[in-house]
Amino acid sequence: MVAAARSSSSADTRARLAELIPRLGAAAPAAERTMPMHPALDGLFPQGVVRGSTVACVGAVAASTALLLLAGPVQAGSWGCVVGLPTFGPGAAAEAGVALERVVVVREPAAAAFDESTWAQALAAGVDGFDIVVLGAGRHLRAATARRVQARLQARGAVLVLVGAAGAFTPDLQVTGRADWHGLGAGHGYLRTRRVTLGLGGRRLPRDRHDTLWFPGPSGVVERAGAHPSPLHRQAG
């Protein structure tokens, strides 16, 4: 008797919820809360990256993955900022599809290294002004600073990309990559194409995602390997 009453009331609730859902959906469009990504990352981020999240790139292709993450939003008209990454290679960024006219790099002067508070302030200014911020691993930031930056990230709706170890930050997502180069032989050839296997994990994901990319592919563009199933003739190594 009691159970029947409960089930009918829960059916009621469900019906009312079903009525509400479309309205809720209209109030907060999903596209507004995510950032568009490079098409090659469709397999890992089918809906883009949620604004306010921190993505750590680790493994053998960390730097390239970070550039690819930067490419999507910058292509879509956002501005990007690269902080504390002295190895940033603009050539590779351009090849990954980053529009360099909307990327600002903050360098550390060789003579005078920044202290922790300068880095924290520079990072905060970057998060305030740019939709996507790439941070190198070399900087040691205190945990309290990292928490504050991440809170600001949420409020501002920007995305933070960490290259290498996450350090004091708590990444929401982690991209791990493995690379398999083709084209280089024993004393001949060039590094031409690279098959990259990316794994995406994180506390917001129910299960890890995996995808394989040509980075770059035979035609020089970055694309999902699904689009090009046949591997190139592999030079004997």
Partner 1 sequence: MSRLVVLVCPQWPVVAAGCRADEAVAVLHTNRVIARSRAAADAGVRVGQRRRDAQARCPALRLVVHDASAEARAFHRVVDTVAEMVPRLELTVPGTLTFAARGPSRYFGGDLAVATLLVERVEAVLGPSLAAIGRVGAGVADGRFAAGVAARLAARAGQPEVVVPGGSGALLADLPVGLLADVGGLDRAVVDLFHRLGLGRLGDVAALAEADLLARFGPVGAVARQMAAGLDDRPLGAVEPAPGSAVEQAFEPPVDHLDAVVFTARSLAERLVAVLAADGRVCTQLAVTVVTEQGERSERVWSRPAGLGVAAVLERIRWQLDGWARRLDEHSAAGVVLVRLEPTEVRADDGAQAGLWGGRSQADEWAQRAVARLAGLVGDEQVVMADWRGGRLPADQYRWVPASLGAGGGAGPSSSAPAAPWVGALPAPTPASLYPEPVPVVVLDRHGRAVGVSARGVLSSEPVQVQAEPIAAWAGPWPLDERWWDPRGARRLARFQLLTASGRAYLATVERQHWWLIAEYD
Are 173 and 53 contacting, i.e. CB atoms less than 8 angstroms apart?
A: yes
Helix axes 143-156, 116-129, angle to 10 degrees: 10
3-state SS, residue 85 = coil
Q: Is the peptide bond before 73 cis (omega within 30 degrees of 0)?
A: no
Shortest distance in whole angstroms from residue 44 CB to partner 1: 18
How far lies 101's CA from each of 71, 83, 97, 110, 123, in Å? 12, 16, 12, 25, 20
Q: Which is nearer to partner 1, 90 or 226 (CB)?
A: 90
Give the nearer residue to partner 1 in terms of CB position, either 43 or 59: 59
Q: Which is nearer to partner 1, 13 or 102 (CB)?
A: 102
- Residue in 67, 86, 81, 66 with CA at minimum distance from that of residue 128: 81
The C-alpha atoms of residue 141 and residue 168 are separated, in whole angstroms, by: 6
Binding site for partner 1 (CB under 8 A): 26-29, 31-32, 60-64, 67, 76-79, 81, 86-95, 99-110, 114, 118, 121-122, 125-126, 128-131, 178-181, 184-192, 194, 216, 220, 235, 237
CB of 15 to partner 1, least distance (A): 24
* Shortest Å distance, C-beta 172 to partner 1: 20
Q: Nearest distance from residue 93's CB to partner 1, in Å?
A: 8
* Shortest separation between residue 212's beta carbon and partner 1, angstroms: 15
